[in-house]
């Protein structure tokens, strides 16, 4: 493989690895989801069966 091929491969692999690490970091450090969604009480048929 030529020097240009090695440089291109290292850039692509490095970029992909950096993007993967950034995405994993964003998922791991994300805040906990809220207990309710926009303060709306959901009342679905499957929830009525439990009562």
pTM of the model: 0.58
* Mean pLDDT for the stretch of residues 6-10: 97
First to last CA, the chain: 68
Read off the pLDDT of residues 23-50 as tens digits, 9 standing for 90 and up.
999 999 998 876 666 667 777 777 666 5
Q: Domain of 11? A: 3-49
Q: Is the pLDDT of residue 1 over 60?
A: yes
Which residue did the predictor score with more confidence, 8 or 43? 8
* Number of domains observed in the structure of the chain: 1
Q: Give the pLDDT confidence score for residue 45 in this predicted structure.
A: 75
* Mean pLDDT for the stretch of residues 3-32: 96
């Amino acid at each position: 493989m030529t020097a240009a091929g090695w440089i291109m491969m290292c850039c692509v692999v490095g970029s992909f690895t950096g993007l993967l690490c950034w995405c994993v970091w964003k998922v791991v450090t994300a805040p906990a989801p809220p207990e309710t969604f926009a303060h709306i009480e959901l009342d679905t048929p499957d929830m009525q069966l439990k009562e």
